[in-house]
Structure 1
């Protein structure tokens, strides 16, 4: 795979994916087939395994022409894994573990803890491992020398290059060769593991001031090699757990929205989790999230929020682990404003907060997002103490919404790339629904006076909001992007929370109006985000689809699926693209690999034909839906793992 010099290319037959794996089928010289599976396990309820930043590569080889063949397998990684700066000097070593594992260890010679270069960490150790045994050889050295050695002899020299140097200085690589012997029609396989070990993982300004926080795996394993050994030997269990999650996501998604919807959720899962990192100890741990590609912020509230559906779906406790650092930072006086902070640090992995108050200004946005996420977490877990623990600051934030949300001043919403705007209809709706969400939280913990006050305000505001923000004169009727601007419109994605949380303060007429309107402004690949630009957002489209009529829901899903299949871009899954032509914007807003695609799971949190939500929201804060009474939800039968093939054009 790849494009090494002076080596004939094999023929790739197919490329498929599940939620946790990418599978490639290759034919070499029409004699043998090679199946390569890249597996990045997702274990949302098993934090020990989820804390490991490791992946597998399994290679299976079989004869396809009826004859037996002598086969040697080669693979390497380069020093490019340790830094985004190719002028950086790398160092490396070779070692073995007691349980028969051999590994290459590679690291940046000058470790820059808590620094990144072009989105890549500048500290930590990369490990590349396989089982050592009969037919196994290894080598490190210049790429041309090592690869040339294998192509000429079918094996490596078991030698180590000790000339540590810059990444781009004769490109050092770290290779394994496996002599598979005579291969017949029954597949012969070999397993490889690759991963990153960092300690410390993040710096965080919390209740104890600024401190370095370790990777969570440090609480389970004594050192890097112990982690590597556990992971490599855990393939059978990890692959089984991942296959079960693959099957659950595929089955639930197909039941909720059809094959096109399953194609989307399956593609989004690894990307959403890939932006997260579990840190701390078993007694006190957090999940931190990076705003990948858009600006690299740490723990951005309006990135956690659109990503939250996948975490509510797979394990709601993960959402709490992302909210906890925000509460700890702000409740301990590290932020000077009355509104909620936008992020906990301008550059991941530095959760150093904004003691000067100079974070990106999205006060209504972030206050509203907290209301939604805390209430959703409590509804899905029954942990009402979480409201009690943070009630004073939640009340502080909702009072801000009471004062400033109905008629929002000029500010950014989460779609900050589109520019600031006054009187944003969708942003105001977030604030109004946030006030009602706080009323429900007050009711849950017995703060009845607050509950009554906030619900009265929210109901009064929603009546005024309809007057200010809905264009009821034109045909078709629709919500306006901006108050009193009847020609404007946009995706009213914040309406989703009225349905998700069971608030039910928005009349059904509004849902119907929006469902009828979206098809009238539909482009080839979806509905534009708003009238200021042509582009759209995959996460917000699915938020809208989840609460739309059946036909409009299908329209949204089919259009996004068409874009996935037909986009000319070969970049990681983007949440922003041109609705008319499908192009991916590159001028200042080249969004790719962002965790917000977790929002595509929004449909799975609502009831749909043939599908039951994991836990239906309960107004009184108790566990609802299909709770069995023993603290567990009823498991549905896992179906077969669906594989999706995507053909990229252009």
Structure 2
């Protein structure tokens, strides 16, 4: 047994390395997604300014270590290419290049006379919900000679029992099955259903699998024993350690080795490994009369066993890669129409956003899956850990509209279904479906975090935008009375919002918020369109008139005294903020705010504060904006110098100036690539120096796709 603490300290000395020596395409992000598929299958390389794949352990999104090691043996010399295993003898491969796309992270390392390419593929398959729901990810390894000669090569990888718990003092047990697929399965000996420790799930099983091809071997046991077996022999012993014990007790690992034989200058066919984590049931869900329902991940509707799911998944790698490449190419093409900087941001955001969701299905009274009842659940990663937080779903919303609006509908359904039971006592929309993922048990006491205008407006905007993008009006018709109830609340509290929180709750409560009023007014206008869709012409006309009246009055409250910019709060002409909620008016086509307001936002961010008569002179477009933008972007508002990357991109999507748009986009790209953090992309950061304020790995980066949906 060795000290994990010492190993972490050693890894810290190795990286990050300032000024990475390898080629990075498009850049080195703070943390690289490796296997990012669900809130509990979330493995990253904390890279900082330039930590190689073999300079640190992969980590869970929280930063806790996930043991994942890799060796390659070339002509009897062993090299480490993944992780920092503490075994004496192997040399260290040299990272030559790194590339990321929307679905893949690809590393090439030189191990003496051969180059090894490791492709970490986390599939994004929004058009096939079963495939999207599979809680598995690929690691594919290929090798080729770099000196023109042939070499004898074996490759190895393992995962540790750290993949199953947030408490390494707990006892795990494990099994290995053989056949066409070799599969290690590991889980806690005393699992606790629906519970977490340090955001890790405390039940279910982690899996590590590979095809049982000629030359494949396996072994479970103490880390240094299993790894030394490969270092010494180039193969594993096909033996199982049955001494079940605490995760930190002689660190049990679960390894595979493949003998590639003689390798020449052509890349070998990829050796494919699968990592995954499966729980069943996945979600506890509240039903009428405070009932409870256990929900399963959707993949169970196609596969009766985990082994059959893994077998299909691993044998489908070539096809999955082709589909991933096609998806990557489409996203890059669409985003590049904005700019290359924007394409880079979007590529980094996709896996992180979709890695926060799980697509689920219920069972009927006979125990059969009810495929007409599919709902999706989202974890509010790193902030509150809530379930389907409305003001986290909302900033994430662009990725669902872009990839598949049906997933968006499935995220909204639990919120609608719960509130339609009448168990939630407040007249505004609920904040979330439960305070602790994966328990979607509602708030029957009405004591959820109150964001009255925020969540009511969000629900109306998302419901209508889903219908517009999908052509499916079922949410609007089924939950029309709820939507109308929330609209009635917005009519009361939107024009002059009482002191309350907005989604930016870290900034505290504030009365008369200009941007919050925008959301409420657009919500009312959205209900006018919803009423029209369902044939309620009287309400459609009434709400349209109210929204139009409110906009006229709002302009008198919200504009600064010299009419040059929007305020943060009514009456405070020296204040301003990102009025990102205007994007909803553009997205929905409600057009309740006049073009002059959108143009004002352009000038607010692009020219000095000058007399209205002088605006036509159009001084240098970025002059005023630059004077308010700090090194890493525009502050969220005048209360602080921090900002939110999602709201910067939303603002970029609504301004009428291309140069202002590009400045906002480039600021976010600069922050994402600055190397000052080593955690998965955080959306809340300091514009003065690019430091992260406290969030990480949150799904709101799905909002970075805002420019692709308007």
Do the structures match in fold with TM over 0.5?
yes
Does residue 194 of structure 1 match 2:275? Answer: yes
Aligned equivalent of 1:436, options 503, 521, 525: 525
How large is the RMSD of aligned CA atoms in angstroms?
1.1
Match of 1:140 in 2: 220
Q: 1:361 aligns with which of 450, 460, 463?
A: 450
Unaligned runs of 5+ residues in structure 2 are 1-81, 362-369, 606-624
C-alpha distance after superposition, 1:103-147 (max 9, x if no partner) = 101111111111111121111111111111221111111111111
Provide the residue aligned with 1:330 in structure 2.
419
192, 197, 212: which one aligns with 1:117 = 197
Instruction: Report how far residue 60 of structure 1 moved.
Output: 0.5
What residue number does 1:78 align with?
160
- Of 75, 79, 99 in structure 2, the residue corresponding to residue 16 of structure 1 is 99
TM-score, normalised by the number of residues in structure 1: 0.90
- Indicate yes or no: 2:643 matched with 1:561: no
1:175 match: secondary structure: strand
| 3-state SS, counterpart of residue 283 of structure 1 | strand
What's the offset of the Cα at 1:370? 0.7
Instruction: Give, in whole Å, the separation in 2 of the partners of 1:124 and 1:302.
Output: 29
Give, in whole Å, the separation in 2 of the partners of 1:247 and 1:448. Answer: 44
Q: Counterparts of 1:609-648 in structure 2 under 5 Å?
A: none
SS at match of 2:169: coil
CA distance in structure 1 between the partners assigned to 2:475 and 2:168 by the alignment: 46
- 2:405 maps to which of 301, 316, 321: 316
Give the aligned partner of residue 398 of structure 1.
487
- 1:472 offset after TM fit, Å? 4.4
Q: Paired residue for 1:488?
A: 575
Contact 1:69 1:182 in 2 (8 A): yes
- What does residue range 412-451 of structure 1 map to in structure 2 within 5 Å? 412-451=501-540
Residue 594 in 1 paired to residue 702 in 2? Answer: no
Structure 2 residue 171 is the aligned partner of structure 1 residue 89? yes
1:263 is the counterpart of 2:350: no
> Which residue is equivalent to 1:535?
642
Q: Distance in 1 between matches of 2:117 and 2:146?
A: 12
CA distance in 2, matches of 1:534, 1:107: 45
Q: In structure 2, how many angstroms separate the alpha carbons of the residues matched to 1:392 and 1:9?
A: 64
- Supply the distance in 2 between the matched residues of 1:472 and 1:317 (Cα, whole angstroms): 45
Q: Which residue of 1 aligns with 2:3?
A: none
How far off is 1:369 after superposition? 0.2
- For residues 349 and 96 of structure 1, the distance between their equivalents in structure 2, rounded to whole angstroms, comes to 33
In 1, Cα distance between equivalents of 2:340 and 2:242: 52
1:529/1:536 contact within 8 Å kept: yes
Q: Unmatched 5+ residue regions in structure 1?
A: 607-650
Matches within 5 A, 1:157-236: 157-188=237-268, 189-207=270-288, 209-236=291-318
Shift of 1:420: 1.0
Q: CA deviation at 1:221?
A: 1.0
Q: Match of 1:566, SS? A: coil
Find the counterpart in structure 1 of residue 21 from structure 2. none
- Post-superposition offset of 1:13: 0.9
Which of 632, 642, 658 aligns to 1:550? It is 658
Q: Distance in 2 between matches of 1:92 and 1:36?
A: 27
Post-superposition Cα deviations, 1:243-272, rounded to whole Å, max 9, x if no partner, equal 1111110000001x1111000111111111
Which residue does the alignment assign to 1:241? Answer: 323
Contact preservation (8 Å) 1:493, 1:544: yes
Secondary structure of the 2:495 match is: coil
Deviations 1:597-635 (A, max 9, x none): 0001110012xxxxxxxxxxxxxxxxxxxxxxxxxxxxx
Alpha-carbon offset, residue 301 of structure 1: 0.4
**CA offset digits 1:254-308 (Å, max 9, x no partner):** 01x1111000111111111000001114221101000000110001000111101
For 1:426-462, what per-residue CA distance to the aligned partner results, in whole angstroms no more than 9, with x for missing partners?
0111001110110011111111110111111111111
Q: Which residue of 2 aligns with 1:27?
A: 110
Q: SS where residue 569 of structure 2 aligns?
A: coil
Partner of 1:644: none
Task: Give the alignment partner of residue 478 of structure 2, picking from 363, 373, 389.
Answer: 389
Please give the alpha-carbon distance, in whole angstroms, between the structure 1 residues aligned to 2:132 and 2:558.
44
Please give the alpha-carbon distance, in whole angstroms, between the structure 2 residues aligned to 1:165 and 1:324: 42
- Does 2:618 match 1:510? no
TM-score, structure 2 normalization = 0.83
Corresponding residue of 1:645 = none
Where 2:415 maps in the other structure, the secondary structure is: helix
| Aligned residue in 1 for 2:565 | 478
Aligned pairs, number? 596
Q: Pick from 584, 608, 621 the counterpart of residue 497 of structure 1.
A: 584
Match of 2:30 in 1: none
Q: Which residue of 2 aligns with 1:295?
A: 384
Q: Mean alpha-carbon deviation: is it higher for 359-368 or for 148-157?
A: 148-157
Aligned to 1:128: 208
Partner of 2:678: 570
Offset at residue 8 of structure 1 (A): 2.2
Aligned to 2:512, the other structure's residue is in SS state coil
CA distance in 2: counterparts of 1:106 and 1:522, whole angstroms = 50
Alignment pair present for 1:376 and 2:459: no
Instruction: Return 410-419 or 508-517, whichever deviates more.
Output: 508-517
Whether the aligned pair in 2 keeps the contact of 1:56 and 1:191 (CA below 8 Å) is yes
Task: Show CA shifts across 1:558-615 (max 9, x none).
Answer: 1111111214112101111111110112xxxx21110000001110012xxxxxxxxx
Q: Which residue of 2 aligns with 1:640?
A: none
| 1:373-398, Cα deviation, whole Å (9 max, x unpaired) | 01101111222233111111100000
Give the SS at the match of 2:322. Answer: helix
String of CA shifts for 1:181-215, please: whole Å, max 9, x gaps: 11111111311111112110100013472111112
Range with bigger deviation, 199-208 or 460-469: 199-208
Equivalent residue, structure 1, for 2:709: 605
User: Quick check: 1:567–1:583 contact (8 Å CA) kept in 2?
Assistant: no
Q: Give 2:120's aligned residue.
A: 38
CA contact 1:279–1:287 (8 Å) conserved in 2: yes
Secondary structure of the structure 2 residue equivalent to 1:580 = coil
Farther-moved stretch of structure 1 (84-93 vs 233-242)? 233-242
The answer to whether the 8 Å contact 1:567/1:582 transfers is no
The more displaced of 508-517 and 52-61 is 508-517
Q: Which residue of 1 aligns with 2:4?
A: none
Three-state SS of the structure 2 residue aligned to 1:499 is helix
* Residues in 1 aligned to 2:214 and 2:662: alpha-carbon distance in whole angstroms: 55
- In structure 2, distance between residues paired with 1:193 and 1:317: 28
| 1:609 paired residue number | none
| SS of structure 2 residue aligned to 1:261 | helix
- State how far apart, in whole Å, the 1-side matches of 2:493 and 2:381 are: 30
